[in-house]
Amino acid sequence: MYRQYATLYIVFIVDNGENELAILDLIQVFVEAMDRCFSAVCELDLIFNMHKIHYILNEIIVGGMVIETNLDDILERYKEQSKLENESV
């Protein structure tokens, strides 16, 4: 399943048993989280910050199961991780 946001195409590969509306909502949560983390996410953010994109996705999905969809919780964990990265540098 995919969804287009401006010039970005977000694609999730799912099996036939998944609810299409739930996956579209999951894509929306993922894009909103990226947009808040990068303030207007673009292709270059995806290319040069792939580790941050993976961190955001890992906060939402763990082991193929959707764990978190609350944007505030996702962003709080992202900020904590960014703070740890900045301290280690």
CA–CA gap between residue 56 and residue 64 (Å, rounded): 14
Residue ranges of the domains in the chain? 2-88
Could you list the pLDDT tens digit for every one of the 89 residues in the chain?
999 988 899 999 999 999 999 999 999 999 999 999 988 888 999 999 999 999 999 999 998 899 999 999 999 999 999 899 888 86
Report pTM: 0.88
CA–CA gap between residue 82 and residue 66 (Å, rounded): 22
The confidence score (pLDDT) of residue 70 equals 94
The confidence score (pLDDT) of residue 25 equals 95
Give the CATH fold of the 2-88 domain: Beta-Lactamase (3.30.450)
Strands 8-11 and 61-62: unpaired
Amino acid identity of residue 16, one-letter, is: N
